[in-house]
Structure 1
Amino acid sequence: MTKLTEQDILHWSGPEEEYMNEAQQEFFRELLLKLQEELISNASATTGHLQEQDATPDPADRATLEEEYALELRTRDRERKLLNKIQASLRQIDEGEYGFCQDTGEPIGLKRLLARPTATFSVEAQERRERMKKQFAD
């Protein structure tokens, strides 16, 4: 099996029945595993960074440090949520459901998945969901 590159994904124009073939699934599996590894590494770095925290007597310095830590923790929380999505996407690959819209069952599209590997809806379905959400929020 030939290993695909990002360029292969961007320029793929095969028949619809070849969408999300074994080579494409393997490309996205590797991409998702790489993202997962980066997020876990970031979380480990944050843990180490927070454990190194020095007490500073100056209130202004302490406030600045606390704000930096709060920002870092919010970032890690967003990454934790992304990690859950990545793991769900990896399960979808294993189950043969990756790359297909959860609403319509239609292909999400390789370019969209390349931009957002954890996407679970086609562009049209996502826009429809956002319009509905906005209607009910108003």
Structure 2
Amino acid sequence: MQDGRYALPTNTVVHLASGYRPSPKEEYMNPMHLEYFRRKLQSWREDLVEESKQTIENLRDEVRDVGDEAERATRETENSLELRTRDRYRKLISKIDKALKRIEEGRYGFCEETDEDIGLDRLDARPIATLCLDAQERWEHRQKQMGD
């Protein structure tokens, strides 16, 4: 525990009851909360890695000598979509890895801008969140203003 916050090094094992869900009645980001989110992030990461492998296999197994130009164009469009999806997965995996690092360091669940609690519901819906809702809304507002 540092600064009143728990860190959960990768070699620390926390046993969770089957079906455990973090509760607001518990201390925020206690070791059980951290373990719950660590497992959720690791599972998500494994799924993305597996899907990326499938994408690579699909592209590799594909026959390059496709019939006519229309079919070739369709195949190219599909390949492009597969590659964009793979790139999105790569970026998501990077964000997951950063979230796992924050769990190890005792920074997970706290807003990077305000240091306030991000909140269990928000993290359950988006476990890679780094900003509380207010900070996220301010960030999106700034992005929108820059885009106009």
Amino acid at match of 1:34: S
Structure 1: stretches of 5+ with no match in the other structure? none
Aligned to 2:5: none
Note the alpha carbon deviations across 1:73-99, whole angstroms, 9 max, x for none: 111111110000000000000000000
Residue 75 of structure 1: aligned partner: 85
**Aligned match of 1:97 in 92, 95, 107?**
107
1:33-72 deviation per Cα after TM superposition (whole angstroms, max 9, x unaligned): 0011011101111111111111212111111111111111
The structure whose residues are more often helix, as a share, is 1
Inter-partner Cα distance in structure 1 for 2:46 and 2:147: 36
Read off the aligned partner of 2:24 and give its amino acid letter: S
Identical amino acids, percent of aligned pairs: 45
The normalised TM-score by structure 1 is 0.90
Higher relative contact order (CA 8 A, sep 6+): 2
TM-score (norm 2): 0.84
Q: Paired residue for 1:22, among 31, 44, 49? A: 31
- Runs of 4 or more consecutive aligned structure 1 residues displaced over 3 Å after TM superposition: 4-7
**Residues 112 and 5 from structure 1, CA distance in 2 versus in 1: closer, same or farther, beyond 3 angstroms?**
farther
Distance in 2, matches of 1:46 and 1:2, equals 35
